[in-house]
């Protein structure tokens, strides 16, 4: 019976484009419009999704990406998304320092055991969770290929994601171009 059975697995998506696409497939328009500070929430939500995709994809570079292979999950993202919403709704200003700590040290960092990886994660998130990320056209990478979309609908965000390249340059992960050679 086992030999004749079919095995079904749920593989994580490969690449930033696929990761971002998968994340925004799970976000409804109602969830996208739920915050009192809609512009800030939408932009920081995209920043959070981008961060999530980056840390997952850095694993492909082995010890250059992370000293230890970690198994982050969608629950880390959804918990961070909920805390982002709560903090934006309850605070008069955007609490960047608190959000950076909660997301990088508590939510995602709870799985991280290497001190260098903790610092790397905090540094990566601080690139995406900062006041400049609230500006339209904010660049997530030096090349400018990945930027903050100015979208009010989830469908528009998905269209933007579909325009992203299939192959990711290591610079978007904060790595040198030669990291591709090692990969």
Prediction pTM value: 0.88
- Residue 101 CB neighbour total at 10 angstroms: 16
- Residue 149 CB neighbour total at 10 angstroms: 18
The 10s digit of each residue's pLDDT in 108-158 is 888 888 889 889 889 989 999 999 999 888 998 888 888 899 888 989 999
The 10s digit of each residue's pLDDT in 46-98 is 999 999 999 988 888 778 888 888 888 888 899 999 999 999 999 999 999 99
* 40, two tokens: 């800030």
Which top CATH class is 16-22+31-182?
Answer: mainly alpha
């Amino acid at each position: 019976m086992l030999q004749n059975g079919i095995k079904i697995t749920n593989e994580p998506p490969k690449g930033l484009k696929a990761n971002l696409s998968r994340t925004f497939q799970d976000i409804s328009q109602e969830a996208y419009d739920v915050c009192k500070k809609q512009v800030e929430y939408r932009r920081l939500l995209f920043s959070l999704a981008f961060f999530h995709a980056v840390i997952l994809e850095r694993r492909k570079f082995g010890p250059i990406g992370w000293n230890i292979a970690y198994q982050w999950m969608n629950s880390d993202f959804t918990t961070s998304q909920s805390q982002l919403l709560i903090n934006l709704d309850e605070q008069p200003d955007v609490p960047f320092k608190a959000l950076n700590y909660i997301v990088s040290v508590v939510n995602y960092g709870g799985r991280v055991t290497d001190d260098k990886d903790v610092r790397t994660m905090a540094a990566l998130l601080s690139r995406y969770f900062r006041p400049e990320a609230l500006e339209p056209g904010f660049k997530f990478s030096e090349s400018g290929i990945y930027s903050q979309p100015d979208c009010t609908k989830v469908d528009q965000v998905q269209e933007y994601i579909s325009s992203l390249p299939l192959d990711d340059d290591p610079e978007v992960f904060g790595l040198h171009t030669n990291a591709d050679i090692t990969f």
